[in-house]
Every structure is written in structure tokens, then in C-alpha cells.
Amino acid sequence: MKAQFGTLVSLLGLAACASSGASRPASSGNFARWSGNFRSTNSASSAMLAPAMPNRGTGTISLTALGGIPAQTRIELMISGATPSVQLGWAVFGGDCGSPAPIVAGQNQFPPISVSSSGDGHVQADIAFALDPRSSYHANVYFGARANDMNDVMMCANLTPQ
């Protein structure tokens, strides 16, 4: 009797894991990918903070839903043409570029981009948030190391679901 009870408990545990989705890979229907291309912004503050040459920074960003509880998203961000040898802040927000929509996760969750001496930067991070395919989102890269002022936005990318 005890052996049958133990088998029953084990089977129920396996069924619960299988139905929860926690053990399913992201490609089993819960997969979502977003991407965008950064473009320079033309804010008044940006002109004052930027070098004498206009900002010609470019870049790409991709976000991939990893699933889990809480939901995790892997972000790959690459930029070029930035001021060499600095750290730049960045973050993902609701809405389109320029909108004052809220940030999707805590500001400290977005690690700074370390820009090389050639002006290229790359960051990869797994951050706890999920994007709703019925909403719009954008990513900003800032002139400074913190993502805290709309007037300090160097580049913006509208994100598109794939």
C-alpha cells in the first residue's frame, strides 16, 4: 500500500511539473522575440552633452523570452559610434521612442554598457520581466552611466515582436 501511495505521489508530482510550464523550453509556444535598431535622438540636452560632431551612434537590440517564474528575458544589445572608453546607461520602457512610459524593470537591473576604445559596446543580461505582444516598447541608450533623464537619451530603438 505504501509503495502504491509513493508511486501515486510521484506521478502527481510529474504531472504538476509537466502542466506548469516551468520545465518547458521557450521554443514550445511561449517563445517571444523582439528586436530594434537604435537611431540617434535630437533633444536639446543631447546637443549640449554630445561631442562637437553630431551623434552618429548606431546599434541593435534583441530580447528573447526565457520563461520561468518570474518571467525572464535575455537582452543582447550592441552599439557602435559611441564616445570611447565610457560606461553608458540603458533601459527598456513601454510605448514608442520619446514616450514617457514606465520602465519595465528596476533601473538597477540594467547593467551599464562598457564602451571600448573604438566606440563599440555590447551587453547581455537576463532580467526579470515579460513583454506583452499587444503593447509597444522601446529601449534608450543614455549619454551617462544612468538611465534617468529623457533629455540625456543618445539613441532610441522601437522594439518589434518577431
**SS3 of residue 6 by DSSP:** helix
Residue 90: exposed, middle, or buried by beta-carbon count in 10 A (0-12, 13-18, 19+)? buried
User: For 18-73, how does the pLDDT look when each residue is reduced to its tens digit (9 = 90+)?
Assistant: 333 333 333 334 448 999 999 987 654 444 444 444 557 899 999 999 989 999 99
User: For 101-138, how does the pLDDT look when each residue is reduced to its tens digit (9 = 90+)?
Assistant: 999 999 999 999 999 999 999 999 999 999 998 999 99
